Amino acid sequence: MIESMMGLLDNYTEDQLRDIAAYYAAQDTKVGQADSSNFELGQRIYRAGNLSGGVPACTGCHGPQGKGVESAGYPKLSGQKAEYVVTSLVAYKTGERVHSSNAKIMQGIAARLTTEEIRAVANYVSGLY
């Protein structure tokens, strides 16, 4: 990844690079392949949970960058496709995904998420690296 960027920016002056950075900073951030309209809701759920709904912050187990804790059985979420995350959360919510005792942890959480919150948090996760 890093190697592929090397040399790419060599022909730009510092001023040009600053202009390019300013241009991108001014664009709407697109997260994953989903739209950015629910980014804030997704970020809030991921980082802080939903107190009124009793949803714990996802960061508590999956980590701030979504890297997970393999040794504890908390899977990595960063970079997952939003559709995959939605499908997984819905499967926990409906009880379709019960293959492990760990799945019970996610069932309790997904059951408290609304469809809108699932979409938003899935969108957010797909952009985490």
Q: Is the alpha carbon torsion for 40, 119, 93, 83 positive or negative?
A: negative
Contacts of 50 (CB under 8 A, 6+ apart): 44, 112, 113, 117
Q: Is residue 37 within the footprint of ligand HEC (CB under 6 A)?
A: no
The answer to whether 63 contacts ligand HEC (rule: CB under 6 A) is no
CB of 36 or CB of 90, closer to ligand HEC? 90
Chosen residue from 31, 34, 82, 109 binding ligand HEC by CB under 6 A: 109
Q: How far is the CB of 74 from ligand HEC (least distance, A)?
A: 5
Q: Does residue 115 belong to the site contacting ligand HEC (CB under 6 A)?
A: no
63 near 69, Cβ under 8 Å?
yes
The whole-angstrom separation of Cα 68 and Cα 106 is: 14
CB of 1 to ligand HEC, least distance (A): 22
User: Cα 2 to chain center, whole Å?
Assistant: 22
User: Is 93 a residue that touches ligand HEC (CB under 6 A)?
Assistant: no
Non-local CB neighbours of 127 within 8 Å, separated by 6+ positions: 29, 31, 32
By CB under 6 A, name the binding residues for ligand HEC: 45, 55-56, 58, 60-62, 73-75, 77, 85, 88-89, 97, 100, 102-103, 105-106, 109, 121
